[in-house]
A and B are shown apart, each in its own frame.
Chain A
Amino acid sequence: MNLTAKLRSDTLIIRVEEDRLDAAVAIRFKDRMREETAPASARVVLDLSRVVFLDSSGLGAVVAVMKSLAPDRRLELAGLTPNVEKVFRLTRMDTVFPIHANADAALAEGLRDAG
């Protein structure tokens, strides 16, 4: 499970460097996210732009990460590809995550809120 993380001002952007976030990697994803979100940051944005397939195990793992960050930090999502977006929409879980078109849009929104 490859993740890359970068800190831009107060925002931690974690990109999933995998094509699939599924049952085969869901547990490792949660473990790796725990490591990558250890540094303090005001915001955590999960960049899913490379992921073309998400199943219910992957979705459950994303929810688990969100819960592990609460109440101090909220998990935001960015770059949902069509099939990934569909899973969030069908399950209505798109209503509980802030969702940005891409990582840049997520960063821009943070700047706007700060200004």
Chain B
Amino acid sequence: MLAERRGLTEPRPTRGTAQVFHLSFLADPLSVRAALCATRARFARQMSEDEAGTLELVLAEVLNNIVEHGYGADETGTITLSMVRDRCSMICSVSDDGVELPARCLDHLWDGAPSRPAPEDLPEGGFGWFLIRDLAEDLGYHREGGRNLLAFRLPLQAFSSDETEADSDHP
């Protein structure tokens, strides 16, 4: 509640003025963990606990995938994360210089719903991309000049949701 009220007193982010949260870090598990904690702290007051948990989960899956598959065990590299909170979503872009993302990771863009590993098979992997596809929206991927760019949007409850009357004039 406090956070939502606080949102009211801050200037409403509008196109061109939204602040970009920028973070560059080493592609290893502990650096990813630190980046997730920093991101959570940065946006804690702008979303609910549940939304913050979902955001952290999607980001963790994207970032850990880069650590494990983008760079591999013997390679070091950096990951750059950029985030913007707009009125009803968090827009995230993640870039790295690792290997190209296999096309099958984004198959759902053409095939429809993401496939969930079958619980009865007791899978130990394959959940990461399922969670990303299930929770993120407008997922897009671009590779240029040896650099990967993955961008997505996570829908959030609109700013100052308990004051919707005040907002209804500004769709």
A interface residues, Cβ below 8 angstroms from B: 20, 22-24, 53, 55-57, 59-61, 63-64, 66-67, 82-83, 86-87, 90-93, 95-96
Contacts and interface: CB of A to CB of B under 8 A. Distances in A.
Given A56-B131, A60-B125, A91-B127, A83 B120 contact: no
Nearest to A20: B33
Contacts of B60: 22-23, 53, 55
Contacts, number: 75
B124 interface: yes
B26 to A, nearest CB: 13
Q: Which 4 A-B pairs have the closest CB atoms?
A: A83-B53, A24-B29, A56-B127, A60-B124
Given A57-B128, A83-B50, 5 more contacts: A22-B60, A55-B61, A57-B64, A64-B124, A90-B131
A66 B122 contact: yes
B94 to A, nearest CB: 15
Interface string B116-157: 110110111101101100110000000000000000000000
Contacts of A22: 29, 33, 60, 64
5 contacts: A53-B53, A61-B124, A67-B124, A86-B54, A91-B119
Contacts of B36: 53
Interface of B: 29-30, 32-33, 36, 49-50, 53-54, 56-57, 60-61, 64, 67-68, 116-117, 119-120, 122-125, 127-128, 130-131, 134-135
B57 A55 contact: yes
